[in-house]
Structure formats: C-alpha cells, structure tokens
Amino acid sequence: MTLRTAGRALRPAGRAAALAVAATAVVFTATELLPGDAGELRTAGRASDEDVAAERERLGLDRPAAVRYLDWLSGLIRGDLGHSLAGGKPVATLFAERLPATVVLVAAALAVTALLTATALTVAYLRGGRGGSAATGLAAVPQPVHAAVLGAVLAGLLGWLPPVSLLPPGGSPLADPRLLALPALTLALPSAAFATVLLRGALADTLRRPHVADARLRGLPAPLVLHRHVLPFLYAPALQVTALLAGGLVAGTALAETLFGYPGTGQLLVSAVAVRDVPVIQAAALLPAAVLLLGMLLADLAARRTTVPGGPGPSVATAGRTV
C-alpha cells in the first residue's frame, strides 16, 4: 500500500473514530439527565442520607461528570463496560450471553431485507425506474404495526408460527428457526421498504444516464444492460444503505425482541431502561452506533475500490435515517 492510499484510507477511519467518541458523549450526556443516581438505586430508598453518600463515594459518583466520562471512556477502550447496578454482574458478561441471539436475528433480518429489496428494485427496473409510492408508505409505517400485523396474520389467523419467541436459557435460535421468523420479519419489512426508497432514486438516476439508453438502443437484452451498465453504479450506494440498515436493525431489535420475548441485547436495553440500570443502558445504546459507524467505514472503504468514474457520490447514506 502506498502512502497516498494509506492516507485516503485513514481519513474516513479518523472521521469514524471522531464520530464514535461523539456518540459516547451523546449517550453519556443523555444518561446524566437521570434525576437519581446509582447511589440511590443500589440502596433502594431504604438507607439514610449518610449511607447513600457513602455508596456514592464508593462508586465514585461524587466526582465531576467530566472525570466520570473520561473514566468510563477509558474503560470502554479497554473493553471494561462496568458492572450492572441490578445484580452486579459485569456488563460484558451480560452482553456475551445475549449477543449471539441478536447477531443471528440481525443476520436473518438483513438477509430477508436484501431479498425483498432486490425483488422490489427488479420490479422497479422492469417498469423503467418508475416506482409507486408503496415503498414510501410502507417505510413510514411504525415498526410495532409491522409486528402486530405479522403476529395477527401469521400467528393468529393462519396459526403457522408461535406468537412469542421464548428461547430456552442458553438455547440457540438456530435450533428452532420458527422462533426467529416473527422478529426477523418485523425487522426486515420496514427496512426493506426504506432501502427500496433510498436505492430507487439511485436506480432512476442511473437509468437516465446516456450510456444506459445507448446500450438499450443497441438492442442489448435487458438482463445484460442491468448487469453490465446499471449494477456497477449501484454497488456504492447499496453498500452504504446496508451499513445504515445494519445500525438501524440493531436499534430495532429493542422493539422486535421485547414484543416477541426474544432474549437478545435489544431486550436487555429495554429492561435496563425500565430499572434505570445506567451502565447497561450506556453499553446497549452504543452497540447500534458502533455497528453503524463501523459499517459506514467499511462501506466507504469498499466504495473507494469499486466506484466507477462519474458514479454517484457518497450521498445516499445521509438522505434518510431509520428510527
């Protein structure tokens, strides 16, 4: 690798690192808004003021916020996520227990999303790049609605799937893929619609390029035009959208896992919010941000290798966002 390419690779990496640090600041600030703190939570309101103060001092909560932030950040870098306030287990252990289930769920959702998006875009291509508003509407529909309609139809009216995805403790979601179906579809439907909306624009732009019209006029068959003249322009946006979706899907697991009782990190975040377990909340909130930033970085680096001259710039990713 020459010095120049190394420099070009380092720039986005530096940007991603800066954004990652900024994301930790956002999360830390948001959790700082809590009225009570761990000292009160751990003594559960039964202790005297002196006991609460002693507990606070033991946990280091009497130090200024900036010091605690730097302390937490350096712990994050070392891989030390702190200890849960409820139960006292290391946060890293809690995550290690639940991460595999979430990874399987997100991977399944991403695969279904890719399949649905590819189908929708093929239809859009065959119709000459003109798209209906169905994808826009479907992407706007809140995720709980997707969950409820899928549950009512697949588990209720048809009875094909169990309405809750309770895994046995330590069990693998791969042992019974039926448990995976409802949460994965709930995640995949809105994100496929979202991806279609984002990529349809890139597709329409590509189809308007003169070389595509030229290839068609030369009488090349449609699949060949697609493969040779259209798809190369869609790789870079597709990679960026994938990174955006991966972050959004990890965030969406909070809903899908909680609704269907699927034991992953999203459910961990929601239950930590319910009991105000700050160290767990902080770590769980950073997970989607980390996936998003890492994905964007990889997409950025990959796009530099595959971008065709005059192709679309890195603009798709910020055009919209998932909730």
Partner 1 sequence: MTGAPPPFFPKAVRPSVSVTAALTLLVCVPLGRYAAPHPPERTVAAPWAPPGGRHPLGTDVLGRDVLSRVLAGGTQLLTVSLLAALAAVVCGAGLGLAAGWSGDRTARTVRALCDLLLAVPALVLALVLATALPGATAVVVAAVLAGAPLTARVVATQCAQLRDSGHVHAAVERGERTPAVLLHEVLPALRRLVAADAGLRLVTALQIAAALAVLGLGPQPPDPDWALMLSENLPGAALNPWALLAPAIPLAGCAWVFAAAARTAARVPGEAA
Which residues form the interface with partner 1 (CB under 8 A)? 19-20, 22-23, 26-27, 30-31, 33-35, 133, 136-145, 147-149, 151-153, 155-157, 159, 163-164, 247-248, 251-252, 254-255, 258-260, 269-270, 273-274, 276, 278, 281, 285, 288-289, 292-293, 318, 321-323
Are 16 and 289 in contact, with CB atoms under 8 Å apart?
no
For the CB of residue 162, give the shortest distance to partner 1 in the complex, in Å: 10
The residue (of 5 and 318) whose beta carbon lies closer to partner 1 is: 318
For the CB of residue 35, give the shortest distance to partner 1 in the complex, in Å: 6
The residue (of 81 and 226) whose beta carbon lies closer to partner 1 is: 81
The C-alpha atoms of residue 73 and residue 67 are separated, in whole angstroms, by 10
For the CB of residue 231, give the shortest distance to partner 1 in the complex, in Å: 26
The residue (of 215 and 239) whose beta carbon lies closer to partner 1 is: 239
Q: Could you identify the residue written with the tokens 């919209």? A: 320
Q: How many Å separate Cα 298 from the centre of its chain? A: 15
Find all residues with CB under 8 Å of 142, minimum gap 6, and list them.
Answer: 323
**Residue 209: CB atoms within 10 Å:** 15
User: Tokens at residue 148, please?
Assistant: 């409820």
Please spell the DSSP secondary structure of 161-180, one letter per residue.
Answer: S-SS-PPPTT--TTS-HHHH
The residue (of 17 and 174) whose beta carbon lies closer to partner 1 is: 17
For the CB of residue 247, give the shortest distance to partner 1 in the complex, in Å: 6
The C-alpha atoms of residue 124 and residue 131 are separated, in whole angstroms, by 6
For the CB of residue 319, give the shortest distance to partner 1 in the complex, in Å: 9
The residue (of 234 and 291) whose beta carbon lies closer to partner 1 is: 291
